[in-house]
């Protein structure tokens, strides 16, 4: 990956709806080599997919919760059972396996506190092998980005 590829990636991270022509003009290449570079980045899975970023609040999704999970048992089978169970729920935006005090951290989006409480009581507490869960409600998002720094 060279400087032109990184320029393409930086542009696409900001606005993936730009045409190849617009990208080529910004990076100082013609259409064909720019197009081929983008296709190669897609083929290499550097570009995984293109998505629309939605405003969750305008969709009525007002609560973000980070929920730390400790399982009763950490065997491979127990970990896989929990992961397979919890990843099915659309409220769960991210599942991160952790070292340290907790086994997982979930990022959960809900309409309101009552919706989250219902999810916690009916889903999290009934998940396989749950030992303990601890919820932290987000008060304010100070920085929120989807872009990576590309040197």
Please write the tens of the pLDDT for every residue from 16-37: 999 999 999 999 999 999 999 9
CA distance 63 to 116: 8
Mean pLDDT of the chain: 96
* Domain 3-43 = CATH 1.10.10.10: yes
Separation between Cα atoms, residue 151 and residue 149, nearest integer Å: 6
Question: In which band, very low, low, confident or very high, does the pLDDT at 151 lie, cut at 50, 70 and 90?
Answer: confident
**Cβ contact 119:61 at 8 Å:** no
Write out pLDDT tens, residues 1-19.
Answer: 999 999 999 999 999 999 9
Q: How far apart are the first and last CA of the chain?
A: 11
The CATH number corresponding to 57-137 among 3.40.720.10, 3.30.300.30, 3.30.70.920, 3.40.50.2300 equals 3.30.70.920
What are the structural domain ranges in the chain? 3-43, 57-137
3-class DSSP assignment, residue 85: helix
The values of phi and psi at residue 25, to 5°, are -65, -40
What token pair was written down for 86?
A: 């919890």
3-43 and 57-137 agree in CATH topology: no
């Amino acid at each position: 990956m060279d400087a032109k590829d990184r320029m393409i990636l930086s542009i696409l991270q900001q606005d993936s709806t730009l045409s190849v022509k617009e990208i080529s003009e910004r990076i100082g290449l013609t259409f064909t080599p720019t197009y081929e570079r983008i296709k190669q980045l897609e083929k290499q899975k550097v570009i995984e997919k293109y998505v629309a970023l939605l405003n969750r609040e305008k969709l009525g999704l007002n609560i973000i919760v980070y929920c730390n999970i400790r399982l009763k048992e950490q065997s491979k089978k127990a970990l896989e059972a929990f992961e397979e169970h919890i990843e099915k729920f659309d409220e769960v935006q991210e599942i991160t396996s952790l070292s340290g005090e907790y086994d997982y951290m979930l990022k959960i989006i809900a309409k309101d506190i009552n919706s989250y409480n219902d999810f916690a009581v009916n889903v999290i507490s009934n998940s396989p092998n749950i030992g303990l869960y601890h919820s932290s409600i987000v008060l304010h998002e100070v920085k929120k980005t989807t872009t990576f720094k590309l040197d």
